[in-house]
Copies of this chain bind each other. A is one copy, B any other.
Amino acid sequence: MEVGFLGLGIMGKAMAANLLRHGFRVTVWNRTLSKCDELVAMGAAVGDTPASVVAKCKYTIAMLSDPSAALSVVFDKDGVLEQIGEGKGYVDMSTVDAATSCKISEAVKQKGGAFVEAPVSGSKKPAEDGQLVILAAGDKALYDDMVPAFDVLGKKSFFLGEMGNGAKMKLVVNMIMGSMMNAFSEGLCLADKSGLSPQTLLDVLVLCLVMQHPCCYFLYYQIKQPWLCFDLQDLGAIANPMFKMKGPSMLQGSYNPAFPLKHQQKDMRLALSLGDENAVSMPVAAASNEAFKKARSLGLGDLDFSAVHEVLKGTGGQAKA
């Protein structure tokens, strides 16, 4: 199978290399052409412009750094639009906002081409290992054609239906994450003020997740029933990576921003708006959102979203990044 690939940043290079390793014929393009060398050494062809890549390949994948790059590659001179058309497909795997996706989608479709948005979950390492999670939406036929490529790039791809559903899915997940963070922080505060060690709570919460992997491993590979090894009565039932990774720094009042609080709050707000449109009552998310807003009002917006812990601790925002 032949594909074009536009954008060879950290993610894009890993993904294109992966396709090459799995026998795809890949024609790459990057704004700084020298970045193509490594992939040429692996067997890739090079296109001079996005347009020439699209001219050559039936399917073209893009993995760009931000919305402006995503738009530029499509709409600028020598861009995708000049060659896209009937029988050709364009797949944008960049993480962009819904408006950007829709603008590209409409332009491509007007030219007769097919479009799929397919943002991914996962960073460099999963990209190299082909372990991304792919949230695709748009043209179903094009998605079906791309499955062999998605199978190489990700451990799993989802087709979510119409354009925009990828962004919505991320909002729902982030809303759950934001409420869980608040629940977690409240628990840590309650433990602390009630004379329990929050560090012990942390140990109790995440204990089982670490320890049960070996048996899970066995069950998963030997008898294909990985969940037998979990016991709901077990305190590990709600163990999750976030508690494990964020907990210790929260107890130290340290909030190095992996996901800035102001972005988390924006996603909560958008998720609540989505709920409003559809008349879904979500009181826990609403309460969580107000805590994030309080954190913003205390000047914590640029810290990690776990800094909402400062609101609940009631220290009035003496937090550090």
Contacts and interface: CB of A to CB of B under 8 A. Distances in A.
Nearest to A135: B204
Nearest to A271: B190
A121 B233 contact: yes
A241 B297 CA distance: 31
Interface of A is mostly: helix
Interface centre among A203, A220, A279, by most chain B C-beta atoms within 10 angstroms, is A279
Given A160-B196, A213-B226, A279-B293, A285 B183 contact: yes
Contact of A121 (B125, B234, B282): B234
Given A196-B161, A279-B293, A284-B183, A221 B214 contact: yes
Q: How many copies does the complex hold?
A: 4
A57 to B, nearest CB: 29
B183 A231 contact: no
Nearest to A246: B232
Nearest to A220: B213
Interface stretch (A17-25, A32-40, A100-108, A173-181): A173-181
Given A210-B220, A279-B296, A286-B287, 7 more contacts: A121-B234, A125-B231, A126-B231, A161-B195, A189-B280, A240-B240, A283-B286
